[in-house]
Structure 1
Amino acid sequence: MNHFTITAEDRAQTLAFYCDLLGLQDGHRPDLGFPGAWLYAGGPQAVLHIYWDRPMPTTRTGVIDHMAFTASDLKAVKARFDAAGVKYDLRRQAGSGTWQLFSFDPNGARVELDFDATETL
């Protein structure tokens, strides 16, 4: 997988969700002739591209059900979501014990954060 691309209605809310809550970093994006952002997860490759100038699709999920990111520091991430009043569903995956935090970004995209089974609340 190279990256995901989403269409966003609200630039500030979208960046707050992905950068402030999830911890991605807004980084270098070439001038593509239209507004947007490229977000990074600590590496040299942007993992999420965002468009600001496209109309929102009528069906928000399309054929992709959700995007998932490997995450760490479950306590801190949960605290950020709670402080921001962002709803989420936190569960443990059967068998592996992996913690999974599911939420929706401000545009309706479903996002999953996966935490190691050894993390505690």
Structure 2
Amino acid sequence: MLRFNHFNLRVPAHRLDAVLDFYRQVFDWREGFRPLSNSQGRWLYQGDQALVHLSIVSDAEAEQRAAHGNGYLDHLAFQTDAMAALKARLANLAIDYSEVKLERTGLTQVFFFDPMGLRLEVNG
């Protein structure tokens, strides 16, 4: 049995606050405990689960990663029972999104980007 655990973003120090604010405001995740490590960073939690690990990198490393895009990572997907509330929150935060309605399944998908250009999908 598999379940989503976390994703890691490597973020330059000067973008860290924007990324933290984005995930806190959009998903109501809170900053929490991060074990000691050789790298610096922050962790964001939903309940007791650390979902987002943010690792601080140099501007040079961030530029190198940006030049290669997100590699094979296309998007991260989440599930919600509160799609209307999510869309209202995105609109309130002036975050552009696109919406796809899958007629055969009744599923609605919302796509948008975080401050680092990572595409996010929320299904509901």
TM-score w.r.t. structure 1 length?
Answer: 0.82
Count of matched residue positions in the alignment of Structure 1 and Structure 2: 114
Q: 1:24 to 1:71 in 2, by over 3 A?
A: farther
User: What SS does the aligned partner of 2:22 have?
Assistant: helix
Determine the structure 2 residue equivalent to 1:40.
45
Separation in 1 of the partners of 2:105 and 2:28? 24
Check if 1:23 corresponds to 2:32.
no
Check if 1:13 corresponds to 2:22.
no
Q: Using the TM superposition, give the Cα deviation of residue 34 of structure 1 relative to its aligned residue in structure 2, in angstroms.
A: 2.5
Structural RMSD (CA): 1.7
Which ranges in structure 1 are unaligned for 5 or more consecutive residues? 116-121
Identity of aligned residues (%): 32
Separation in 1 of the partners of 2:53 and 2:102? 28
TM-score w.r.t. structure 2 length?
Answer: 0.80
Structure 1 or 2: larger strand share? 2
User: What are the superposed Cα offsets for residues 18-74 of structure 1, whole Å, 9 maximum, x if unpaired?
Assistant: 1111222221111213221212222x3312211122422022221111101112322
Q: Which stretches of structure 1, 4 residues or more, deviate above 4 A after TM superposition? A: none
**1:7–1:107 Cα contact (<8 Å) kept:** no
Which ranges in structure 2 are unaligned for 5 or more consecutive residues? none
